[in-house]
Amino acid sequence: MSTHRGYSKRVLVTGGAGFLGSHLCERLIEQGCEVLCVDNYFTGARSNLLKLHNHPRFELVRHDVTFPLYVEVDEIYNLACPASPVHYQHDPVQTTKTSVIGAINMLGLAKRVGAPILQASTSEIYGDPTIHPQPEEYWGNVNTIGPRSCYDEGKRCAETLFFDYNRQHKLKIKVIRIFNTYGPRMHPNDGRVVSNFIVQALKGEPITVFGEGNQTRSFCYVDDLVDGMVKFMATAPDVTGPINLGNPGEFTILELAEQVIRLTGSSSKIVHKPLPKDDPKQRQPDIAKAKALLDWEPTIPLEEGLRRTIAYFADSLK
Active site residues: 151
Long-range contacts of 25-28 (CB under 8 A, 24+ apart): 25/49, 25/52, 25/58, 26/51, 26/52, 27/226, 27/230, 28/230
Nearest to 273 by CA among 217, 213, 211, 216: 211
> Beta-strand (E) ranges in the chain?
10-14, 34-39, 58-62, 75-78, 117-122, 173-178, 181-182, 207-210, 216-218, 220-221, 243-245, 250-252, 270-273
Under a CB-based contact definition with an 8 Å cutoff, are residues 19 and 186 in contact?
A: yes
Instruction: Return the amino acid letter for 44.
Output: G
